[in-house]
Amino acid sequence: MSRDQCNDLERLASLGSLARGLAHEMNTPLSAIVCNNDTIDTALRRIRERLDNPANQSEESFISEMKNLLGVVTDSLQTSRVASDRLRHFIRSLRDYSRIGDDAQSMADIREPIEMALLLVAHELRGRITVVKEFGDIPPMEFHKTQLSQVFLNLLMNSAQAIEGNGEIRIRTWKDGNTGYIAISDNGPGMSPEVQARLFEQGFTTKNANTGTGLGLPICLEIVEAHHGRIEIRSEVGKGATFTIVLPLAADSVESERTTNG
């Protein structure tokens, strides 16, 4: 099996374990749409009834009733639009993430794969883990969007599973010269040097058989190395963990910045 096929399989497997949460996450906008459709239907029926059989009411009260009904329709449509946008965005991320084979490298904002991963793990974090984003300026760079979102999803899931009870995940991005940094930190229990030394071994896992395959981090490393980057780990027992993805920025973006800076 090729490296890419292996990545694809791991990515699809991670979606499988998220399926329950993904369904739950789509249920909220769906609930809003179902509720609003019914509300709009009832309001329109009432408007039609009033127009067909004008009751013995003054023009003033008729107009005020119509305005109220139309107000309900407008507000419900607006809410449904927000909910539909959320669903569309969600489904697009899901489709991009589960794409097999045709993840061409392209110039993009590194925040895109981070946001995609965050959307897909939202349910695992919701209610328990606060996500703090500190996105510094990184110019657009060349990368495989699906592959990097796989890396971020893996790291976010690892952090979420490490944190017992409530906690915080901090995502920072910054650049230093010709290098971009994406650091994902959690305030979970941290790792001993022995565990850290084995993190990228295939099949090594500290999780139970249902949640960990031991393939996540080795694949993350492969993907990052294929992007000519590296993964740095900083962790102490009791003091959380930080995984930093270090990626070279495309030469032309550095060039353009030099030009901008004069």
Partner 1 sequence: MDNPDYRPSILIVDDEEMVTSSLRNLFRLQTNYRTVTYTSPMEALADSSKDFFDLVVSDYLMPGMDGITFLGRFKEAQPQAMRILLTGYADKESAIRAINQVGLYQYVEKPWDNDSLLMSVKNALDKASLLRTLDTKIQELQAAQFSLMDFQRELIRTFI
Note the residues at the interface with partner 1 (CB under 8 A): 20-21, 23-24, 27-32, 34-36, 38-39, 42-43, 46, 68-69, 72, 75-76, 79, 82-83, 86, 126-127, 130
CA gyration radius, the chain: 24
> For residues 75 and 97, what is the distance between their CA atoms, to the nearest angstrom?
33
Ramachandran angles phi, psi of 184, nearest 5°: -115, 115
Closest approach of Cβ 235 to partner 1, in Å? Answer: 26
Task: Tell me whether residue 34 or residue 107 sits nearer to partner 1 (CB atom).
Answer: 34
Task: Tell me whether residue 29 or residue 188 sits nearer to partner 1 (CB atom).
Answer: 29
Closest approach of Cβ 189 to partner 1, in Å? Answer: 22
Task: Tell me whether residue 35 or residue 254 sits nearer to partner 1 (CB atom).
Answer: 35
Task: Tell me whether residue 36 or residue 159 sits nearer to partner 1 (CB atom).
Answer: 36
Task: Tell me whether residue 24 or residue 99 sits nearer to partner 1 (CB atom).
Answer: 24
Strand partners, 172: 134, 183
Closest approach of Cβ 76 to partner 1, in Å? Answer: 5
> For residues 174 and 125, what is the distance between their CA atoms, to the nearest angstrom?
24
Task: Tell me whether residue 46 or residue 207 sits nearer to partner 1 (CB atom).
Answer: 46
Q: How many Å is the maximal CA-CA distance in the chain?
A: 83
User: Which residue spans within the chain are E strands per DSSP?
Assistant: 105-108, 129-135, 141-144, 167-176, 179-186, 230-235, 241-248
- Spatial neighbors of 230 by CB under 8 A, at least 6 apart, are 224, 246
Residue pointed to by tokens 């249902």: 210
Task: Tell me whether residue 7 or residue 36 sits nearer to partner 1 (CB atom).
Answer: 36
Closest approach of Cβ 190 to partner 1, in Å? Answer: 24
Strands 141-144 and 179-186, bridge-based pairing: unpaired
In 3D, which of 171, 168, 189, 197 has the Cα closest to residue 239? 189
Closest approach of Cβ 14 to partner 1, in Å? Answer: 18
List the structure tokens of 146.
Answer: 């699906």
Ramachandran angles phi, psi of 245, nearest 5°: -90, 125
Q: Is 183 strand, coil or helix?
A: strand
Closest approach of Cβ 82 to partner 1, in Å? Answer: 5
Closest approach of Cβ 193 to partner 1, in Å? Answer: 34
